[in-house]
Chain A
């Protein structure tokens, strides 16, 4: 990892030691280390200001960043052409990927789940390519492999490191997983994996979940051409069973209100750090506490108005590409989004002011 200040293999400025770490080293390091940390902080601030000038349009900078966890996809890919979708039928078995039923450019199969998976994968690919300059999930044009009809009455959808898989649901609790925000969520787990990753437990795991929700929601809003105030900010709208009292799986606008049902119970997501849930279940509550950063993103988008996949999406995407910390806490991530906002919109910009306000409202000071 690129955590030494000397960064012998890299230009020091391009060595992505997070600013918070530099600040700690400046305070607590020995004299030589503290001096180097202070120098790097000054250089980093100067570089950010220069980048902000260069990036008023909100586009990622052209130069690549280094560091083991910094993404290769941070710079726009030069030759983004086309998606390479490969949709398989799992035939209700567990083996992946199953039988190939639709490849890129093939006509519709007539199998609703397969055609939805195909169309939605194209929409998510387009968002990442056209808005963020990313060539597929790995930034290098990897095929988009998905399996529908995974297992029998399977109440789940997932990214397994290589592909997406979608169950049909049991018809009672879930009736489908083929919905654009869900598909965008699963594909974004792939983007996160290839962007240095966030360890899937506790706060870093909840961030992994939240970022997947953010880009899943943005894919849906972009497909519907909705501005922030027009969107419902629901993740998995309509996927719950017909008898379930609920509108979706999660709400970024009002975490904790997506469902309230005798069978499912109450949506457990908090919107503020005061409601943070400490649990060993669900990898440390990754699907619960994601409500907090989800709500911060929602607030930020609504403070700014307009199309959420544009400036807010670019800031979140930029923050992910430069995070370089797989064990990031919510506070680390908030700092990272602020760094990205300053890089893309300038120090003291309305975007950075609104971002600070959004994080403060969910109980995270930056």
Chain B
């Protein structure tokens, strides 16, 4: 499972300040590996993307692509749609 994360927006709106991260989940040690699998499971991302967005001033937008067994799923989520535990996981890896 490969997870690609790109962000845009934020207070500065500066593209080069954005996050650009590719995670090879199979290369991660447990328990992070399982946490990533659970958090970035496409059905879960689809559920999060359907949540109300709320106020978006200066928040970042996340473009997340998950590739597994040759199948690619892409999602666009606002920062406030992502649970804090998932954001911590993104910062940690």
A residues at B contact (CB < 8 Å):
92-96, 151-161, 173-174, 177, 182, 185-186, 189, 192-193, 200, 208, 212, 236, 249, 263-265, 281-283, 286-288
CA gap between A193 and B58 in the complex, in Å: 13
In the complex, identify which listed stretch (B5-13, B30-38, B64-72) lies at the interface while the others stay far away: B5-13
Given known A93-B84, A185-B11, A249-B12, contact A159–B55 (CB-CB < 8 A) = yes
Q: State the CA gap A282–B15 with chains docked (Å).
A: 9
Q: Is the interface of B mostly helix, strand, loop or mixed?
A: mixed
Interface of A is mostly: loop
Tell me whether A174 and B55 are in contact (CB under 8 A).
no
Q: How far is the CB of A140 from chain B (nearest CB, A)?
A: 18
Q: Which residues of A contact B80 (CB under 8 A)?
A: 160
Q: Mark B8-46, 1 if CB is under 8 A from A, else 0.
A: 111111111110000000000000000000000000000
Question: Which B residues are CB-close (under 8 A) to A200?
Answer: 55-57
A158-B10, A282-B13 given; A151·B91 CB < 8 A: yes
Whether A152 pairs with B84 at a CB distance below 8 angstroms is no
Q: Is the CB of B11 within 8 A of A182?
A: yes
| Contacts known (A94-B87, A156-B60, A160-B80); A282 close to B55, Cβ less than 8 A | no
Kindly list chain A residues whose C-beta atoms are within 8 Å of the C-beta of B54: 160-161
Contact A193 B16 (CB under 8 A): no
Q: Which of B16, B58, B88 contacts A158 (CB 8 A)?
A: B58
Q: What's the minimum C-beta distance from B71 to chain A, rounded to whole angstroms?
A: 26
In the bound complex, residues from chain A placing their C-beta under 8 Å from that of B15 are 265, 281
Q: CB distance A96 to B84 under 8 Å?
A: yes
The reply on B51 being an interface residue by CB < 8 A is no
Measured CB to CB, the nearest residue on chain A to B18 is A155
How many Å lie between the Cα of A281 and that of B18 in the bound state?
12
CA distance A157 to B12 in the complex (A): 9
Q: Return chain A residues, CB-CB under 8 Å to B16.
A: 173, 263-265
